[in-house]
Amino acid sequence: MMTPILALLAFTAIADAQFITWFGDSCPRVPTKENFDIVPYMGRWYELSKYPNSFQNGECGTAIYRLEADNTVTVNNTQIKDDGSSDTVIGQARDDPDSDIPGRLQVRFSSFQPWGSYWVVDTDYDNYSIVYSCNYFLVNRVEFLWILARDRALPAGTLSSILQKIESYGIDSTKLVDTVQDPAICVK
Ligand SMILES: *[C@@H]1O[C@H](CO)[C@@H](O)[C@H](O)[C@H]1NC(C)=O
Ligand SMILES: *[C@@H]1O[C@H](CO)[C@@H](O)[C@H](O)[C@H]1NC(C)=O
């Protein structure tokens, strides 16, 4: 049970995330990747688009996932800020201990933070991943969505089928904002 003060801290930590629905709908029931296998999911992913959020406001976002001996995952999220400096946050991911559904992971970037959901909705491991997160904090619902890819771009056809998939799960794809992945800006 969270103490009120901890719950409040958790709340303020994410309160400036963009997609908060006050007293709103429940989280949509979205499937996760069938028989999700963490091993081929590890390695580097490029962030192609996402729901805007307060902690990833730079460009060129990458995530590197590394499986540790204790079966947790070390997360290295790096982005390039407006002033050209690179910004890295190290976090941790794990299987949701309260769920036996494959692909329902959790992530956090500080041991003072509550675990947030990280659902691998769909991935083919080699090209793309659709990651969705929906959590309740007090009276609101907070959603995150990312399209990740193994390269800095995806073929248009792959991208449009990803967007169709997202919509078919009742997740709003129109709020996605593209991340700059132009090598001229991102590769130094
Ligand atoms: C995180 O990833 C960045 C970019 O790939 C790399 O430069 C940095 O060394 C990594 N940091 C850690 C602690 O692994
Ligand atoms: C997915 O990635 C693999 C390995 O890089 C590649 O051979 C294949 O063509 C890609 N498939 C699609 C649909 O992009």
Please give the full DSSP string across 133-186, using - where no structure is assigned: EEEEETTEEEEEEEEEESSS---HHHHHHHHHHHHHTT--GGG-EEPP--HHHH
Residue 19 pLDDT: 54
Residue 8 pLDDT: 42
Nearest to 41 by CA among 100, 158, 113, 121: 121
Distances (CA, A) of 119 to 49, 103, 155: 16, 6, 23
* In a domain? residue 91: yes
Residue 76 CA, closest ligand 1 atom number: 1
Enumerate residues lining ligand 2, CB below 6 A: 126-127, 155, 158
- 136 Cα to the center of ligand 1, angstroms: 31
Residue 27 pLDDT: 82
Give the CATH number, domain containing residue 82: 2.40.128.20
| Exposed/middle/buried for residue 37 (C-beta within 10 Å: 0-12, 13-18, 19+) | exposed
Residue 10 pLDDT: 46
* In a domain? residue 183: no
* In a domain? residue 187: no
* In a domain? residue 109: yes
* In a domain? residue 186: no
* In a domain? residue 188: no
* In a domain? residue 29: yes
Helices vs strands, H then E, count in the chain:
4, 10
CA distance 11 to 7: 6
Residue 154 CA, closest ligand 2 atom number: 14
Domains: count for the chain:
1
pLDDT (tens digit, 9 = 90+) per residue, 155-172?
Answer: 999 999 999 999 999 899
Nearest ligand, CA 156: 2
* In a domain? residue 65: yes
Q: What is the mean pLDDT of each run of 10 residues along the chain (188 residues)?
A: 43 45 69 96 97 88 97 96 92 94 94 90 98 82 93 97 94 95 90
Structural domain including 72 reads 4-178
Token pair for residue 58? 């730079």
Residue 176 pLDDT: 96
- 89 Cα to the center of ligand 1, angstroms: 9
Ligand 1: which of 44, 65, 78 to mutate, judged by most atoms within 8 Å of the beta carbon?
A: 78
The letter for the amino acid at 164 is Q
Residue 25 pLDDT: 65
